[in-house]
Amino acid sequence: MDKVVLSAEIIPPKGGAFALAVKVALLGFCAALVPLGVTLAIPEKDDGAYSTRIKHKQLARPEPGKIILVGGSNLSFGIDSGRITERTGCIVANMGLNGYFGINYQLGEVLPHLRAGDKVVLILEYDAYLNPANGDPTTLIGVLKANPAAIRYMNLSQMGQVASRVPLVAQEKLSRLIKEGAASLFGGAEDDPYDIIYRFVSYRGYDSHGDVVAHLGTEWPLDLKQGLPMDKMPMRPEVVDAIEAFSREAREKNVAFAISFTPVERKYYTKYQPYIHAIYKELDQKRKLPVVSTPGDYVFDKSMMFDTVYHLDAQGRRIRTEKLIGDLERGLGNGLDCRSTGAVTKGKISS
């Protein structure tokens, strides 16, 4: 070796193996903080993840018998929580935000807050049965940034995945800045046209229950975004295992648990009906989980969808909410009504 690029041979370092190991470790640690700093310093494309704070505020409310809706964005776009409260007298925490959080996080974030008498309704998009139970680390970084305390809802494996994804998120953010800079210098737009969704899922687009309301009464200008190709991706047993485990824990906590189905656009449903039915069969017949409806109950025409095959517009949202209330009344019986327990009054007063 004739030449070393940097200085070690020119400036003799001091100390032994331990001193060198400490220096290398310190240097590595400080350098690893750089991508984290970039990730934290550069804002996300949208501030929708901050709505998790609204949802947790609602979840932490002291009234007994809360209805906690767990799932992805089908819930935030397609549920009128205020209407459910009106009909049942129960406080509703609509936790639905992003399907890419993964089932482990979605269930993990409500479990510590459950109290006897609460009612958990799980409604996942069909994509969620095909995606990893640990979710997408990039999406989880977004929610962690909005609510650092959410780290406690993650398992060790998720934390590892999130940590290893930080450099990629940092790179994506830097790339976004460069693209934006280029667009302002040379003109033209590098943005994905679908980015207009951020107008609707911004933090300000949510109401106090955790429902998205910004899209109500507006028209979506693009084609519907499709779900995953269900014929090409197998259902993940780990997702149903997680639901089964949650069902047991809910029972132990004396919490009512029900599973329903996401609204879905008719064409998509028709195309993947056998695969959707397989999910239903797995939940209802094989695992004997408390399913209160069938997938076919929530099939909607394209005219009632908003931007994706899972997101409803105002009309669809109204119909779906009434349908869900009916299903829950049948599935949970008197347990759905909070008026007899006095929760209504408390709930209404505090809201």
Partner 1 sequence: MAWWCMAFNTFAFLLFFALVAGVNFLLPARLRWGWLLAASLVFYGWAGPVYLIQILLAAFLSYAAALRMEAETDKARKKHILTLIVLALVGNLFAFKYVGFVNETLRSLAGLAHADYPFGVVDILAPLGISFYSFQLISYVVDVYRGAPAERHAGLFALYTTLFPKVISGPIERGKNLLPQLHAIPGFDHVRVAAGLQLVAWGAFKKIVVADRIAPLVDRVYDSPQAHEGIAMVAATFLYAFQLYCDFSGYTDMALGAGAILGFRLMRNFNRPYFATSIPDFWRRWHISLTSWLTDYVYTPLTRIKIGIKWYRMMLLSLFLTFVLSGIWHGAAWTFVLWGALHGGYVVAATQLQKPYNKFARRIGLIRRPDFHRRLKIVTTFTLVCIAYVIFRARTLPDAIYIYTHLHTGWGTAVSSLRDSFPFDQLVYSFAGIAVVLLVEIVEGDPARAARVVALPIWRWGLRFGMISAIFTLGAFYGTGQQFIYFRF
**Interacting residue ranges for partner 1, rule: CB under 8 A:** 1-17, 19-20, 24, 27-28, 30-32, 34-35, 38, 167-168, 170-171, 174-176, 178-179, 182, 186, 188, 190
The CA distances from residue 85 to 93, 270, 279, in Å, are: 10, 33, 30
| Nearest distance in Å: CB 32, partner 1 | 5
- With respect to partner 1, which residue has the nearer C-beta, 1 or 349? 1
- With respect to partner 1, which residue has the nearer C-beta, 184 or 334? 184
Side-chain half-sphere CA neighbours of 300 within 13 A: 28
| Nearest distance in Å: CB 182, partner 1 | 4
Crossing angle (nearest 10°) for helices 51-59 and 137-146: 70
Which of 142, 186, 110, 122 is closest to 42 using CA atoms? 142
| Nearest distance in Å: CB 158, partner 1 | 19
- With respect to partner 1, which residue has the nearer C-beta, 13 or 333? 13
| Nearest distance in Å: CB 17, partner 1 | 5
DSSP code per residue over 305-345: B-SBSS-B-HHHHHHHHHHHHHHHHHHHGGGG--GGGTHHH
- With respect to partner 1, which residue has the nearer C-beta, 156 or 349? 156
Which of 58, 74, 40 is closest to 109 using CA atoms? 58
- With respect to partner 1, which residue has the nearer C-beta, 5 or 156? 5
For residues 12 and 259, give the distance between their C-alpha atoms in angstroms, rounded to a whole number. Answer: 67
| Nearest distance in Å: CB 170, partner 1 | 5
Helix (H) or strand (E) run with residue 132 in it: none
